[in-house]
Amino acid sequence: MVFTIVLVLVIIALLVTIVYGSGNKNKSSALVFFYGNTCPHCKDVDVWMRENNVEKILEIQKKEVYDNAANALELEKAAKQCGLATDSIGVPFLYTPEEICIMGTPDIIDYLEKQL
Protein backbone atom coordinates (compact mmCIF):
# COMPACT_ATOMS: atom_id res chain seq x y z
CA MET A 1 0.00 0.00 0.00
CA VAL A 2 2.78 2.45 0.92
CA PHE A 3 4.64 1.51 -2.25
CA THR A 4 1.56 2.32 -4.36
CA ILE A 5 1.16 5.74 -2.71
CA VAL A 6 4.84 6.56 -3.23
CA LEU A 7 4.64 5.43 -6.85
CA VAL A 8 1.57 7.60 -7.48
CA LEU A 9 3.29 10.61 -5.88
CA VAL A 10 6.39 10.09 -8.02
CA ILE A 11 4.27 9.88 -11.18
CA ILE A 12 2.40 13.06 -10.24
CA ALA A 13 5.69 14.84 -9.55
CA LEU A 14 7.04 13.77 -12.95
CA LEU A 15 3.90 14.94 -14.73
CA VAL A 16 4.01 18.32 -12.99
CA THR A 17 7.68 18.67 -13.96
CA ILE A 18 6.93 17.83 -17.60
CA VAL A 19 3.98 20.22 -17.82
CA TYR A 20 5.84 23.04 -16.06
CA GLY A 21 8.98 22.50 -18.14
CA SER A 22 7.14 22.46 -21.46
CA GLY A 23 5.41 25.73 -20.62
CA ASN A 24 8.72 27.50 -20.11
CA LYS A 25 10.24 26.35 -23.39
CA ASN A 26 8.30 28.97 -25.33
CA LYS A 27 10.25 31.77 -23.64
CA SER A 28 13.83 31.61 -24.77
CA SER A 29 16.51 33.62 -23.03
CA ALA A 30 18.36 34.06 -26.31
CA LEU A 31 18.29 37.05 -28.59
CA VAL A 32 17.37 36.13 -32.14
CA PHE A 33 19.25 37.83 -34.97
CA PHE A 34 17.43 37.48 -38.28
CA TYR A 35 19.58 38.15 -41.34
CA GLY A 36 19.82 37.55 -45.06
CA ASN A 37 22.77 35.91 -46.81
CA THR A 38 23.25 38.75 -49.26
CA CYS A 39 22.21 41.63 -46.99
CA PRO A 40 25.13 44.09 -46.63
CA HIS A 41 23.63 45.69 -43.50
CA CYS A 42 23.31 42.24 -41.90
CA LYS A 43 26.98 41.62 -42.66
CA ASP A 44 27.87 44.90 -40.94
CA VAL A 45 26.07 43.80 -37.77
CA ASP A 46 27.64 40.34 -37.94
CA VAL A 47 31.15 41.80 -38.31
CA TRP A 48 30.52 44.15 -35.38
CA MET A 49 29.28 41.23 -33.25
CA ARG A 50 32.42 39.21 -34.07
CA GLU A 51 34.77 42.15 -33.41
CA ASN A 52 33.13 42.73 -30.02
CA ASN A 53 32.85 39.06 -29.00
CA VAL A 54 29.12 39.50 -28.50
CA GLU A 55 28.31 35.78 -28.83
CA LYS A 56 30.73 34.99 -26.00
CA ILE A 57 28.85 37.37 -23.71
CA LEU A 58 25.23 37.17 -24.89
CA GLU A 59 23.21 34.18 -26.05
CA ILE A 60 22.30 34.91 -29.66
CA GLN A 61 20.62 32.67 -32.20
CA LYS A 62 21.32 33.61 -35.81
CA LYS A 63 18.58 32.78 -38.32
CA GLU A 64 18.94 33.28 -42.06
CA VAL A 65 15.64 34.23 -43.70
CA TYR A 66 16.28 34.55 -47.45
CA ASP A 67 16.90 30.86 -48.05
CA ASN A 68 15.11 29.38 -45.03
CA ALA A 69 11.30 29.56 -45.15
CA ALA A 70 10.89 28.37 -41.55
CA ASN A 71 13.13 31.19 -40.31
CA ALA A 72 11.25 33.69 -42.48
CA LEU A 73 7.99 32.59 -40.87
CA GLU A 74 9.57 32.92 -37.44
CA LEU A 75 10.63 36.48 -38.32
CA GLU A 76 7.07 37.26 -39.36
CA LYS A 77 5.74 35.84 -36.09
CA ALA A 78 8.24 37.88 -34.04
CA ALA A 79 7.24 41.05 -35.88
CA LYS A 80 3.56 40.36 -35.24
CA GLN A 81 4.27 39.87 -31.53
CA CYS A 82 5.80 43.35 -31.52
CA GLY A 83 2.79 44.79 -33.33
CA LEU A 84 4.67 45.46 -36.57
CA ALA A 85 3.11 45.16 -40.00
CA THR A 86 4.70 42.15 -41.66
CA ASP A 87 4.88 43.88 -45.04
CA SER A 88 7.25 46.52 -43.66
CA ILE A 89 9.82 44.37 -41.87
CA GLY A 90 13.27 43.64 -43.12
CA VAL A 91 16.68 42.51 -42.04
CA PRO A 92 18.77 42.91 -40.03
CA PHE A 93 16.19 42.33 -37.34
CA LEU A 94 16.82 41.56 -33.66
CA TYR A 95 14.15 40.01 -31.45
CA THR A 96 14.58 39.88 -27.69
CA PRO A 97 12.98 37.64 -25.06
CA GLU A 98 11.13 40.73 -23.80
CA GLU A 99 9.44 40.90 -27.24
CA ILE A 100 11.40 43.94 -28.31
CA CYS A 101 11.88 44.20 -32.06
CA ILE A 102 14.84 46.15 -33.37
CA MET A 103 15.39 46.68 -37.08
CA GLY A 104 18.40 48.23 -38.78
CA THR A 105 22.13 48.23 -38.23
CA PRO A 106 22.57 51.28 -35.98
CA ASP A 107 19.66 50.44 -33.68
CA ILE A 108 20.76 46.81 -33.31
CA ILE A 109 24.35 47.79 -32.55
CA ASP A 110 23.18 50.42 -30.03
CA TYR A 111 21.01 47.84 -28.28
CA LEU A 112 23.81 45.25 -28.17
CA GLU A 113 26.33 47.79 -26.86
CA LYS A 114 23.99 48.54 -23.96
CA GLN A 115 23.68 44.82 -23.20
CA LEU A 116 27.45 44.22 -23.05
How do residues 50-105 score in pLDDT, each as one tens digit? 999 999 999 999 999 999 999 999 999 999 999 999 888 999 999 998 889 999 99
The answer to the question of residue 46 being in a domain is yes
Residue 60 within any structural domain of the chain: yes
Backbone angles phi, psi at 91, to 5 degrees: -115, 150
Residue 97 is assigned to a structural domain of this protein:
yes
Domain assignment present for residue 15? The answer is no
Q: What is the mean pLDDT of the chain?
A: 87
Question: What distance in Å separates the CA atoms of residue 83 and residue 70, rounded to the nearest whole number?
Answer: 20
Asked, for residue 21, whether it belongs to a domain, the answer is no
Residue 12 inside a domain? The answer is no
Number of domains present in the structure of the chain: 1
- pTM over the 0.85 mark: no
Which range of 2-11, 20-29, 99-108 scores highest in mean pLDDT? It is 99-108
Q: 22 in a domain, yes or no? A: no
pLDDT recorded at residue 87: 87
Instruction: Write out the residue range of the structural domain in which residue 54 sits.
Output: 31-115
Q: What is the pLDDT of residue 15?
A: 63
